[in-house]
Amino acid sequence: MATVETPEVEFRAEARYVRTAPRKAQAVVAEIRGLPVGQARSTLAFMTRAAARDVAKVLNSAIANAESHPTSSYDAESLYVSAALVGSGPTLKRWQARARGRVGRIRKRTCHITVRVAPIPGATAVRPVPAEQPRRARRPRADAEAPAEGAVVETPGVEEAPEATVVEEAPPVEESAEQSEEAPVAEEPEERSAGWRRILEQTTTGLLRQSEDA
């Protein structure tokens, strides 16, 4: 049984819930598996299948991940498609009206596309992986730092009382002739009550006369 060697470094990209049937995407993926990146791109660009556009997006994403890796990045020319997989996703179920009151079932299938790229054997990374360096132990921080020599240490003193301020008395205001006039005297309450009594007597006498005439 033949053994397949797995590359040491791989860069992957995945697209989930793609609105394409898994059978159609698998036919496209099979054409680029194991090809160099440049040849795989040209193959997808000239394919007439609609799933080729979705696979091309995933391939470009995997290449971008390889080029922008922080520790070991590779150029697109030194990569090849090491693996290309298609898995089935959830199926959306729809219905369509048919003749004689029947219903036709519609299944809208989805898939998950995964593409992995790896460097060609013998290719060198643009940014090599740096060797791990031992971490330096952190110095413990002192709870209270001692003051430096010659530094002036401020001590809290007693606050001085504020000085008393002298308030000058305002000069007396002379009363004007208009203010000295007496205010008009209000009407006495007895006169008001007498007027109300007269009005009540007149109204009562008028009502009695009307009742007698009736």
Tokens matching residue 175? 């009363």
Per-residue pLDDT band for 2 (boundaries 50, 70, 90) equals: very low
Q: Compute the C-alpha angle 132/134/137, nearest 5°.
A: 150
CA dist., res. 161 & res. 153, Å (int): 24
Per-residue pLDDT band for 207 (boundaries 50, 70, 90) equals: confident
Do the Cβ atoms of 45 and 56 come closer than 8 Å? yes
What does the DSSP assignment read for 18-72?
ESS-HHHHHHHHHHHTT-BHHHHHHHHHT---THHHHHHHHHHHHHHHHHT-SSS
For 43, residues 6+ apart whose C-beta sits below 8 A from its C-beta are 31, 32, 35
pLDDT at 128 (0 to 100): 58
Residue 41 has pLDDT above 80, yes or no: yes
Mean pLDDT taken over the chain: 81
* 21-41: average pLDDT: 95
Tokens matching residue 161? 């009382």
Residue 160 has pLDDT above 50, yes or no: yes
Residue 91 has pLDDT above 90, yes or no: yes
Do the Cβ atoms of 139 and 36 come closer than 8 Å? no
pLDDT at 93 (0 to 100): 95
pLDDT at 188 (0 to 100): 54
Residue 99 has pLDDT above 50, yes or no: yes
pLDDT at 168 (0 to 100): 63
Percent of the chain with pLDDT over 70: 70
Residue 139 has pLDDT above 70, yes or no: yes
The residue among 81 and 143 whose pLDDT is bigger is: 81
For 107-129, how does the pLDDT look when each residue is reduced to its tens digit (9 = 90+)? 999 999 999 999 998 888 886 55
CA dist., res. 38 & res. 75, Å (int): 11
Do the Cβ atoms of 90 and 17 come closer than 8 Å? yes
For 45-80, how does the pLDDT look when each residue is reduced to its tens digit (9 = 90+)? 999 999 999 999 999 999 999 998 888 888 889 999
Return the amino acid letter for 101. G
The residue among 139 and 63 whose pLDDT is bigger is: 63
Q: Which domains does the chain have, with CATH numbers?
A: 11-119 (3.90.470.10)
Q: Give the residue among 92, 22, 82 at the shortest CA–CA distance from 54.
A: 22
Tokens matching residue 145? 């730092």
* 170-195: average pLDDT: 58
